[in-house]
Chains A and B, each alone.
Chain A
Amino acid sequence: MTKEKPSLTADKTPSIYPAKTKMQVTLIFFVIIGIYLFSMYWTQREMVGGIGGALGNMYVVIEKFFPPNFAVLPAIWEPMAQTIQMAILATTVSAILTVPLALLSAQNVTTFKPLYYLTRTFLNILRTIPDLVLAVLFVGLFGIGLFPGILALIVFSLGILAKLISETIESVDMNPMEAMRASGGNTLQVIWYALVPQVAPQFASLVLYVFEINIRASVVLGLVGAGGIGLILNQQLGFYNYPNAMAIIILIFVVVIVIEFISNKIREALL
């Protein structure tokens, strides 16, 4: 709202937003607050014994988890490495597959509308499938192991990556592309000379970002049988071997933090 100075025209000073917009925003605000209050009340009622009971339960579980048994570390290095390899492999493959898909779903490159809409729709559908569902699906198809996990990650990250990169492509400066076209370059040359230099840093940064997501996702996918450290964690939890599970969780935590730190530094340097 505007602060009005006392003056003769004070009552004529317009506010920044029209009255109608203000009304709408206020209404939306109260509706959202209402939803919050309702869901708070609802979850309280559904939870056995409410917050108090949950805290007690948590204490019991935490006691079982500590102290973590770090003696298992040498044995879990390999599945941990597998998880990372899964993420690397999946990210690499999806980064490659993204290129044509991102180009086809960028409006400024794909001027042939039907093709553009087709790719867009395909990617939208891809993104609506949760990664866990993909993993369960592929594990069902190919059995327990790394391969279904990698497939799930590829499909999952392809949806995100192609979308983000096609948006980057749509925001590039079109002028140099016109210049290349005007000098007789063919489509491939125009893309390579005028588009690629403009999106390459963003591309690398987004691929690293998706790699970070994939590291975390690949742990979770392991829980449903898609190989790697997640699978081992699930087994240990199944055997009620909580100190072992805790050691695994701490290892995952440290590895994820280290990888994110490195990847963030690289991305900063890129942009």
Chain B
Amino acid sequence: MIEFKDVSLVYPNGTQGLKNINVKINDGEFVVIVGLSGAGKSTFIRSINRLVTPTSGSLLIDNEDILSYHGKNLRKLRTKTGMIFQNYNLVKRSNVLKNVLAGRLGHTGTLRSILNLYKKEDIGLAYESLKRVNIEEKLYNRADELSGGQQQRVSIARVLTQQPNYILADEPVASLDPPTSHQVMTYLKKINKEDNITTIVNLHFIDMAMEYADRIIGMRAGEVVFDGPVSEVSEQTFEEIYGRSIREDDLRGGANKS
């Protein structure tokens, strides 16, 4: 369970990234955060694995305040929270398997990982993860030989190999075309259901948010301005979150027919 209690974050340059956030995310939920560019979606998500550190309030994960974590505690927290990025963030010159095995870093001793002495189970796990996103045949390809959609699937496999309790995805489909976007979201949703991994996704496409989310959190200027199940969300809700009428480019299109 993730619980934001009156969390605020002011960046060193004075920008208010988060403003008095109070949100509780239950285990197994699939939450989509929507909001305009600069609304604070990334800041919200990156607070959870402490890539940024809120400046006040408390953030509880599994009933422990993570804001005071550093060193070993922090790394342990991060092994529990897998992250997926807009730009996939793979090591382009390394092959797919090595990229996926990097998901085990937090669970592997420094010496072992530097000497590539992964446990047999770990390598098996990496291969299984690749199979789950149907990209196991690219095992030994260099990451930069893959298409954007394939790279994002590899990064999902990396997160799966990490065996996290939470998955954080920051605009995972912003660099992909509509069919590939739906494919990636479908994988995330499937993993959420099958493994019961709490998943938080930043999106700015309204139609995708509606299609995949259980629950939608709307942000504007660092504040949560909407929080409710997808069934309560209408076009008007989005207009309130965005503070303007809905436009063509707020939609990804190419709804998933399969």
- Answer whether residue B82 sits at the interface, using C-beta atoms and an 8 A cutoff: yes
A192 touches B83 (CB 8 A): no
Q: How many chain A residues touch the partner (CB < 8 A)?
A: 19
A173 touches B92 (CB 8 A): yes
Q: How many chain B residues touch the partner (CB < 8 A)?
A: 33
User: Across the interface, which residues of B come within 8 angstroms of A198, CB to CB?
Assistant: 91-93
B interface footprint on A174-214 (CB within 8 Å = 1, 0 otherwise) = 01101111111110110011100110000000000000000
B89 touches A179 (CB 8 A): yes
The listed residue (A176, A183, A192) touching B106 by CB distance below 8 A is A183
The listed residue (B79, B89, B92, B94) touching A178 by CB distance below 8 A is B89
Given the known A-B contacts A185-B75, A197-B93, A197-B94, are A178 and B106 also in contact in the complex, defined by CB atoms under 8 Å? no
Given the known A-B contacts A197-B93, A197-B94, are A180 and B102 also in contact in the complex, defined by CB atoms under 8 Å? yes
B113 touches A192 (CB 8 A): yes
A175 touches B89 (CB 8 A): yes
In whole Å, how far is B69's beta carbon from the nearest beta carbon of chain A? 12
- Give the interface SS of chain A, mostly helix, strand, loop or mixed: helix
Given the known A-B contacts A189-B110, A189-B114, are A184 and B91 also in contact in the complex, defined by CB atoms under 8 Å? no
B75 touches A186 (CB 8 A): yes
Given the known A-B contacts A178-B51, A182-B83, A183-B82, are A189 and B105 also in contact in the complex, defined by CB atoms under 8 Å? yes
A97 to B105, CA, bound (A): 26
A interface footprint on B93-110 (CB within 8 Å = 1, 0 otherwise) = 110001000110111101
Which A residue's beta carbon lies closest to that of B51?
A: A182
User: Across the interface, which residues of A come within 8 angstroms of B92, CB to CB?
Assistant: 173, 176, 198
In whole Å, how far is B51's beta carbon from the nearest beta carbon of chain A? 6
- Answer whether residue B21 sits at the interface, using C-beta atoms and an 8 A cutoff: no
Which B residue's beta carbon lies closest to that of A185?
A: B105
B91 touches A197 (CB 8 A): yes
User: Across the interface, which residues of B come within 8 angstroms of A189, CB to CB?
Assistant: 105, 108, 110, 113-114
Q: Which of B184-233 contact A (CB under 8 A)?
A: none
A179 touches B110 (CB 8 A): no
A186 touches B110 (CB 8 A): yes
**Most B C-beta atoms less than 10 A away, residue of A183, A185, A192:** A183
Q: Which of B35-89 contact A (CB under 8 A)?
A: 49, 51, 75-79, 81-83, 85, 87-89
A175 to B90, CA, bound (A): 8
In whole Å, how far is B115's beta carbon from the nearest beta carbon of chain A? 10
- Answer whether residue B252 sits at the interface, using C-beta atoms and an 8 A cutoff: no
In whole Å, how far is B97's beta carbon from the nearest beta carbon of chain A? 13
User: Across the interface, which residues of A come within 8 angstroms of B98, CB to CB?
Assistant: 193
User: Across the interface, which residues of A come within 8 angstroms of B51, CB to CB?
Assistant: 178, 181-182
A184 touches B90 (CB 8 A): no
In whole Å, how far is A174's beta carbon from the nearest beta carbon of chain B? 9
User: Across the interface, which residues of B come within 8 angstroms of A181, CB to CB?
Assistant: 51, 78
B75 touches A184 (CB 8 A): yes
Q: Which of B135-193 contact A (CB under 8 A)?
A: 155, 158-159, 162
User: Across the interface, which residues of A come within 8 angstroms of B103, CB to CB?
Assistant: 183
| 4 tightest A-B CB contacts, nearest first | A184-B106, A184-B79, A185-B105, A179-B89
12 of the cross-chain contacts (CB-CB < 8 Å) are A175-B89, A176-B90, A179-B155, A182-B82, A183-B102, A183-B162, A184-B77, A185-B106, A186-B75, A186-B105, A189-B114, A197-B91
Additional pairs, 4, CB under 8 Å, beyond known A179-B155, A188-B110, A198-B91: A179-B83, A180-B102, A182-B82, A193-B113
